[in-house]
Amino acid sequence: MKANNSLMILFLTARDENTEFAMLRNLKKGASYINFLLTLTILMGSPQLIWGSDTMPHPFEVNASGAVLLDFKSGEFIYGQNSQKQIKPASLVKILTLFLVFDAVKSGQVRLEDNVLISKKAWRTRGSKMFIEVGTQVPLVELIKGIAVASGNDACVAVAEFLQGSEQAFVEKMNEKLRDLGILHTHFRTVSGWPAPDQYTTAFDMALLARAYVRTHPEALHYHKLKEFTSEGISQLNRNRLLWRDPSIDGLKTGYISKAGYHLLATAQREDQRFIAVVMGAKNPRVREREALRLLNYGFRNYTSVMLFEKGKLLLQLPVWKGKAGQIGLTAAESGVVAVPISKEKEVSWHTETPEKLFAPVKKGQSIGQAIISYKKKVLRRIPLHADQEILQAGLVKRTLHTLALQGKAHKMRLISVLIFFAALIWFLLRTRWSRQNRRRRHRYLPAQKDLI
């Protein structure tokens, strides 16, 4: 290990994706392709990390500034260390850049086959490059590969200008997207992660971003798992070296700046289970890879996914007051899936919490209560329950009756007294009327009785 560290010092001092640009530039000038590959292999070796205390599960130390492990299906954090510590994001920013690109493709705003005109600004962008030439037309899909594989800063600027007209306008869309996703402790100032004031994130937020990205655009993994990319006659290897070490790994992104260290956002799927590991602030590439892989293996070896109910499944019926219909079905807004320690599946339970009374009108899809999933009395997830139909208000008569019934429940004894009073009153009135009728009958037939005498 000491020998490896000594060798790494020669190549890793103040190096990152941006200093790799100098190596690639030399290659373009005629440097040996074999020497380039050897140097790049050493440069992209592996990483290490350093942490502290955290409120998340923390069964072991990771050699990095911050790290988390997230179960993809449930969104549950399995591991956390300094998960909320602010760290410079470096090229992890490019996950959000690609997120917006795939959003635009999905919405039909652009197509993968569209040609993108490369501006002078994009061409002159510093740092890691895919080496696009100014004034050329490059298919959008090639720029996506250049960002996902080669971490091209020039490609990031090119797609930003293509979609929003300028890098700054694109950055505003990026931060707007973060707010929409509920990612609150991250702020970006550049499309590539190039160092800038007031640009920061956390391991926690990067895991949330990665999960949203892969859930929304699973097709993006096709590009992130590519091991090599060639542009302008220059072939570059994917900086995520875990792609060579474990076939289950299919993403996602690396990053480095001198003030923060080496980052790796990795994801892997084995059978029907996927985890996302974030390692930030490692000492070198070899450490970030080792620790990210350790986190992923820890998740797969110790946790299993438990599906309690599917998204959209009817979980219960709830009475509805003052509505045209008397009850409504409540369905799960999300799948009831959680990650729990292996062999502990039977200790997972769930129950519902709903309003004591539900009044019409009710809109279809309206959130009404929640399903709570617990493990050993610890709440793991809260899933909203949605109304499965619309229920309009009933007519005046039914609403009045329901009002009386509700008042009766609240004032049961008072209502009983009132009912007894009215029953007695009605009985008295009927008895009085019956008595009068009997007297009249007797009076009407009385003379006839005298004649008989």
Active site residues: 91, 94, 151
Q: Cis omega before residue 59 (within 30°)?
A: no
Asked if 89 and 200 touch (Cβ cutoff 8 Å), the reply is yes
Q: Which amino acid is at 98?
A: L
* CA contacts within 13 A on the Cβ side of 9: 5
**Quick one: CA dihedral 225, 227, 230, 231, positive or negative?**
positive
Rounded to the nearest 5 percent, the helix, strand and coil shares of the chain are 40, 25, 35
Query: How is residue 64 written in tokens?
Result: 């990095």
Asked if 359 and 327 touch (Cβ cutoff 8 Å), the reply is no
Query: How is residue 234 written in tokens?
Result: 């220059």
* Cα(452)–Cα(29) distance, integer angstroms: 145
Nearest to 130 by CA among 250, 33, 233: 233
Cα separation values, 308 from 70, 229, 348, 436, Å? 19, 42, 9, 71
Q: What is the CA radius of gyration of the chain?
A: 34
Backbone angles phi, psi at 231, to 5 degrees: -145, 135
Cα separation values, 6 from 2, 13, 224, 281, Å? 6, 11, 31, 20
**Quick one: CA dihedral 14, 19, 20, 26, positive or negative?**
negative
SS3 312: coil
* Cα(138)–Cα(392) distance, integer angstroms: 55
The end-to-end CA distance of the chain, in Å, is 137
